[in-house]
Amino acid sequence: MPREPIPTWCFALVVVRKGDRFLLVQESKYGQPWYLPAGRVEAGESFVAAAVRETREEAGIPIRVTGLIRIEYSPSPAGARMRVIFLAEPTDDTPPKTEPDDESLGAAWVALDELPNYPLRGGEVVEVVTYIARGGAVYALELLQSEGTPFRAG
């Protein structure tokens, strides 16, 4: 007997670092807290492409994804959620957006010691930014591959 498919929602989250500052976006929903650039991966889109797109849409910043912080998979009876958390850097000196739109109310570069000044959506922002600021492990992007990609040694 065939099994029912498991609905899975995929998200990309991005820790964008510029020296000792990190990019936050002010969300236009959830009570307008500050969070990392993040969003759902669209059909046919890679996690890396979603990370680049979401950061550009929400913060106005072009980025280069430089590493993989963590992959999270959370199954539940109703389906599953998969989140890939990336490290990235800006590709130029474009300032964060300040004009509200459908994606966000704005964005800002924030130092670790300034985080208490921002109403954040949950403690994970402080946790992951502190992790990166203190030299936490970041993994090669090659760990995340499309199905069918050949295995190559060396």
The helix (run of H) or strand (run of E) holding residue 59 is helix 47-59
Paired tokens of 67: 């590493």
Q: Which of 21-25, 134-138, 149-153 has the lowest mean pLDDT?
A: 149-153
Total-model pTM? 0.93
For residues 128-154, give the mean pLDDT. Answer: 93
pLDDT of 154 > 90? The answer is no
Distance CA(21)–CA(41), nearest Å, equals 26
Higher pLDDT, 29 or 53: 53
pLDDT band at 5 (very low <50, low <70, confident <90, very high): confident
Q: What are the angstrom distances between the C-alpha of 122 and each of 31, 33, 62, 110, 138? A: 12, 9, 25, 16, 22
pLDDT tens for 77-123 read 999 999 999 999 999 999 999 999 999 999 999 999 999 999 999 89
Q: What are the angstrom distances between the C-alpha of 33 and each of 10, 86, 87? A: 22, 21, 21
Q: What rounded mean pLDDT belongs to the chain?
A: 95
Q: Which of 9, 88, 89 is nearest to 41 (CA)?
A: 9
pLDDT of 2 > 80? The answer is yes
pLDDT band at 32 (very low <50, low <70, confident <90, very high): confident
pLDDT of 30 > 80? The answer is no
- The domains found in the chain, sorted by start residue, are 17-84+93-110 (3.90.79.10)
- Predicted confidence at residue 152, as pLDDT, reads 85
Three-state secondary-structure class, residue 108: strand
Q: What are the angstrom distances between the C-alpha of 148 and each of 128, 144, 145? A: 31, 12, 8
pLDDT tens for 112-131 read 999 999 999 989 999 999 99
- Predicted confidence at residue 142, as pLDDT, reads 93
